[in-house]
């Protein structure tokens, strides 16, 4: 079933969308999972359904507690496969299909799995809204690729509507308008026409430099989740990869990928993007997903526990194969190593010393490697921003991980709906921390990028440029509006904005000033984006 779905997606979309279901196939073929299920059946005399359900729920719980939001959202993929297998065990596999329609409809549901989304009838489903998910969930990614307007994470929308209700889906603003009046319908009809014209205009600017009106060039890069995303990066005209996540190489594996396996992946990546910079982040997860491979205990608070380089420094075998593979692959392209979750000079020293040890090992093995590879660190913990001047003396570049930086600065878990409203990237403390990191980078003549959600949000573009961020890395689809704003913005305006909002130190004022500036220099972008 999954392979048939992949084949359909390859025919109608491209390899990247089909590759989303590679993880589903890995789950189905996971020997560790099947071994645990069989063990429960044999030892506790459980039915196959009960044994599988208990085991898979533990997997889903572990993934849902991951510190990284991107990885937490992959729990939905495990649930998707679980639903499919449970349907077979219940004898309902043939009945578990998304409804078909004979006229244009908007689907409202509590949840749509990636499989549900991929099988939507695009000739009749013109939009959907669900109560679960986020913009980086696979359901949302598929919706964008399929060009289906969608709103995810819309709490309690299902209970507010009944079949036959008239609604408008505004995917840009994240709104569902219930029972729109004739004036609203006319407004959105005109807005749709304007939007189509704007997208056509933005596409023409794809190959233009992101250069301010007074001559400052900002590098626009793309975030990517795996090798399969390379083609989309080429189409977007990104200038390189600003964040390559490597977690997919490690997830749901009974054993860790060895050096050669990783080397081949990174080498292929480098060769596919000749002459373009590729920033590869080392493994950024906690130990709870690797029990079978390295027997690490569960932690009560994985957000503040042994994750990323903390885990790597305490268990060097996790990092050694990856770093050796990266050093070797650096011969084939402009690869740069990015360390996540660095919080002290001592941690950075430990990582740099480990790199030198690994270089000596590669020399002894007579293997070629890049001895002059740029080494960067993520600025995503407040302590790192506050000692950025010291870290900048040892690192070649900084990359601001805005998602975690905001979360750790404000002590807010944005996935918790009870406190999510406190998650405020325009909080004065967040701006001051970014300013501190950018200032330290400038003083020490190293470059600084931003690869979190703020980088792809047009509302923040003038702020980041004015703060001194030289590179923005985002999902490929977010590049066109950000490029348009930079090309309409002057560095003088951006720096004046930053000076103004830092003086006022008020998040509402900051948001208002950013909106005013963008509405003036790029009104078409302001009208089509969330937050304006």
Residue 73 has pLDDT above 70, yes or no: no
Phi, psi of 62 (to 5 degrees): -65, -45
Stretch 131-139: mean pLDDT: 74
Of 156-165, 196-205, 245-254, 492-501, minimum mean pLDDT range? 245-254
CA 31 – CA 39 distance, rounded (Å): 12
State residue 291's pLDDT score.
44
State residue 209's pLDDT score.
93
Residue 5 has pLDDT above 70, yes or no: no
Stretch 453-466: mean pLDDT: 94
- Which has more confidence, 161 or 65? 161
Residue 288 has pLDDT above 50, yes or no: no
State residue 227's pLDDT score.
78
Stretch 294-309: mean pLDDT: 67
CA 344 – CA 383 distance, rounded (Å): 7
Phi, psi of 174 (to 5 degrees): 65, 40
Could you tell me the fold of the domain covering 2-90? Enzyme I; Chain A, domain 2 (1.10.274)
Phi, psi of 151 (to 5 degrees): -125, 125
Residue 289 has pLDDT above 50, yes or no: no
State residue 512's pLDDT score.
96
State residue 489's pLDDT score.
97
- Which has more confidence, 181 or 205? 181
State residue 7's pLDDT score.
65
- pLDDT confidence tier of residue 301, bands split at 50, 70 and 90: low
CA dihedral 79, 81, 86, 88 (to 10 degrees): 160
Could you tell me the fold of the domain covering 210-490? TIM Barrel (3.20.20)
- pLDDT confidence tier of residue 251, bands split at 50, 70 and 90: low
Residue 400 has pLDDT above 70, yes or no: yes
State residue 490's pLDDT score.
98
Q: What is the pTM of this model?
A: 0.74
How does strand 175-178 pair with strand 167-170?
Answer: antiparallel
Query: What is the crossing angle of helices 345-364 and 317-329, to 10°?
Result: 60
Q: Is the dihedral of CA 312, 314, 315, 320 positive or negative?
A: positive
- pLDDT confidence tier of residue 33, bands split at 50, 70 and 90: confident
- pLDDT confidence tier of residue 26, bands split at 50, 70 and 90: low
Stretch 301-325: mean pLDDT: 82
Helices (H), 387-448: 388-391, 402-410, 428-443
Residue 194 has pLDDT above 90, yes or no: no
State residue 262's pLDDT score.
93
| Rounded percentage of the chain residues whose pLDDT exceeds 90 | 47
- Which has more confidence, 231 or 25? 231
State residue 18's pLDDT score.
53
**DSSP letter (8 states) at residue 250:** T
State residue 229's pLDDT score.
73
Of 118-127, 171-180, 409-418, 456-465, minimum mean pLDDT range? 409-418
- pLDDT confidence tier of residue 287, bands split at 50, 70 and 90: very low
Domain boundaries, the chain: 2-90, 105-180, 210-490
CA-nearest of 7, 32, 34, 35 to 21 is 7
Active-site residue list = 138, 451
Residue 286 has pLDDT above 50, yes or no: yes
State residue 191's pLDDT score.
84
Task: Give strand pairing partners of 108.
Answer: 129
Stretch 487-511: mean pLDDT: 97
Q: Yes or no: is domain 105-180 CATH 3.40.50.720?
A: no
State residue 141's pLDDT score.
74
Helices (H), 124-211: 138-145, 157-160, 182-204
Residue 368 has pLDDT above 70, yes or no: yes
- Which has more confidence, 514 or 420? 514
- pLDDT confidence tier of residue 279, bands split at 50, 70 and 90: very high
Residue 448 has pLDDT above 50, yes or no: yes
State residue 285's pLDDT score.
73
State residue 69's pLDDT score.
62
How does strand 219-224 pair with strand 241-245?
Answer: parallel
């Amino acid at each position: 079933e999954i392979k048939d779905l992949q084949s359909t997606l390859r025919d109608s979309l491209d390899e990247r969308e089909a590759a989303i279901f590679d993880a589903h196939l890995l789950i189905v073929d996971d020997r560790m999972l099947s071994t645990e299920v069989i063990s429960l059946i044999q030892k506790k005399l459980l039915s196959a359904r009960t044994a599988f359900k208990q085991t898979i729920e533990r997997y889903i719980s572990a993934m849902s507690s991951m510190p990284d939001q991107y990885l937490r959202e992959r729990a939905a993929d495990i649930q998707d496969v679980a639903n499919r297998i449970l349907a077979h065990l219940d004898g309902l596999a043939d009945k578990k299909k998304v409804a078909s329609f004979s006229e244009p409809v908007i689907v409202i549901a509590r949840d749509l799995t990636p499989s549900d989304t991929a099988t939507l009838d695009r000739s009749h489903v013109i939009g959907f809204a669900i109560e679960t998910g986020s913009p980086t969930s696979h359901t949302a990614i598929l919706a964008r690729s399929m060009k289906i307007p969608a709103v995810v994470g819309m709490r309690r929308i299902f209970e507010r509507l009944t079949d036959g209700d008239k609604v408008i889906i505004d995917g840009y603003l994240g709104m569902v308008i219930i029972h729109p009046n004739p004036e609203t319908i006319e407004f959105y009809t005109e807005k749709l026409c304007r939007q189509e014209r704007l997208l056509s205009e933005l596409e023409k600017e794809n190959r233009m430099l992101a250069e301010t009106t007074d001559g400052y060039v900002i590098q626009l890069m793309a975030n990517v989740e795996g090798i399969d995303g390379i083609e989309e990066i080429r189409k977007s005209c990104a200038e390189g990869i600003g964040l390559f996540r490597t977690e997919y190489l490690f997830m749901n594996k009974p054993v860790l990928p060895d050096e050669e396996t990783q080397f081949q992946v990174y080498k292929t990546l480098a060769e596919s993007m000749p002459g373009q910079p590729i920033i590869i982040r080392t493994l950024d997860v906690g130990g709870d997903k690797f029990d079978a491979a390295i027997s690490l205990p569960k932690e009560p608070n994985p957000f503040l526990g042994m994750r990323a380089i903390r885990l790597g420094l305490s268990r060097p075998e996790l990092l050694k194969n990856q770093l050796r593979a990266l050093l070797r692959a650096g011969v084939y392209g402009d690869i740069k190593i990015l360390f996540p979750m660095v919080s002290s000079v001592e941690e950075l020293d430990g990582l740099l010393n480990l790199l030198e040890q690994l270089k000596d090992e590669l020399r002894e093995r007579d293997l070629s490697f890049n001895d002059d590879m740029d080494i960067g660190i993520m600025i995503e913990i407040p302590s790192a921003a506050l000692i950025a001047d010291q870290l900048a003396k040892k690192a070649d570049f900084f990359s601001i991980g805005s998602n975690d930086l905001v979360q750790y600065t404000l002590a807010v878990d944005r996935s918790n709906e009870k406190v999510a409203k406190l998650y405020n990237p325009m909080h004065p403390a967040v701006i001051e921390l970014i300013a501190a990191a950018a200032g330290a980078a400038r003083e020490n003549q190293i470059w600084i990028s931003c690869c979190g959600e703020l980088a792809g949000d047009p509302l923040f573009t003038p702020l980041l440029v004015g703060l001194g961020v030289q590179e923005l890395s985002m999902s490929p689809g977010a590049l066109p509006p950000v490029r348009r704003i930079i090309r309409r913005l002057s560095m003088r305006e951006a720096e004046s904005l930053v000076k103004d909002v830092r003086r006022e130190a008020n998040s509402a004022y900051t948001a208002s000033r950013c909106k005013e500036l963008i509405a003036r220099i790029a009104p078409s972008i302001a009208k089509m984006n969330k937050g304006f």
